[in-house]
Amino acid sequence: METDTLAPDIVTTKEELEKWKEKRARQRGGDGEPTHPPHLESRNYKAGGWQDDVNLLVQFLKGLKTLMRFLIEHRVPEKPSRLFAECLDEVEENINKAISDLYDIDSDTHAAYLGLQARECTAKPLKLKIREYYRSIVSRPLPAVLERIDSILRSLFPVLATLEPVNEFKEALESRIKHDGDREIISLNLSGYEQSWNQAVGEE
């Protein structure tokens, strides 16, 4: 009996979410980073509400842009970094569109908010995800940080559709970081006697 009661609400929420996503896709433009709306200013709401969830997700996405740009400019070797850098503007624009979609949320009954809630991306579950992500930044190696980002993005892009290509880009960047040399270590030029080593090997 309880299942019968809940089923229509679930269907309605999914339908409303899809309609909202379609509407937002039509409305989006390439206007750069969106402006923080007044209804999400901390002075305009009581702490602990849905507004905190939206602001926390926006903070995460803005931080992701900063982190990816840093990795491309400082960690990926110079030659392969060029194509990553060329693609980054479009990736950042997709993140900006997701931020704009978050700013579209205006209540805890908004279709997108309900979609985030269904994926445990609000309230305490969201705070847990973000806390563990920031804990990784200060206490774990970079691959662990990127894995936490993976987990959060996978939860978000069923609601914030423009994050799916962002996640694919981040996975490509992650693979390069894990399996290639580190630009800053390479730039130290520690192999000053490499030619001597090569000669010694050739003499054996």
CA angle 40, 42, 45 (to 5 degrees): 75
The per-residue pLDDT for 181 is 92
The per-residue pLDDT for 64 is 98
Contact present, 123 and 53 (Cβ < 8 Å): yes
Q: What confidence tens digit (pLDDT) does each residue in 22-69 have?
A: 888 888 765 677 899 999 999 889 888 999 999 999 999 999 999 999
pLDDT band for position 202 (cuts 50, 70, 90): low
The per-residue pLDDT for 194 is 55
pLDDT band for position 191 (cuts 50, 70, 90): low
The per-residue pLDDT for 4 is 43
* Rounded Cα–Cα distance for residues 19 and 95 (Å): 20
The per-residue pLDDT for 46 is 87
Q: What confidence tens digit (pLDDT) does each residue in 100-120 have?
A: 999 999 999 999 999 999 999
Tokens of 16: 């409303």
This prediction's pTM: 0.84
Round the average pLDDT of the chain to a whole number and report it: 88
| pLDDT surpasses 70 at 2 | no
Q: What confidence tens digit (pLDDT) does each residue in 171-184 have?
A: 999 999 999 999 99
Output the CA–CA distances (angstroms, integers) from residue 95 to 37, 121, 159, 174, in the order listed. Answer: 17, 17, 13, 17
User: What is the residue extent of each domain of the chain?
Assistant: 44-188
The per-residue pLDDT for 30 is 57
Q: What confidence tens digit (pLDDT) does each residue in 108-154 have?
A: 999 999 999 999 999 999 999 999 999 999 999 999 999 999 999 99
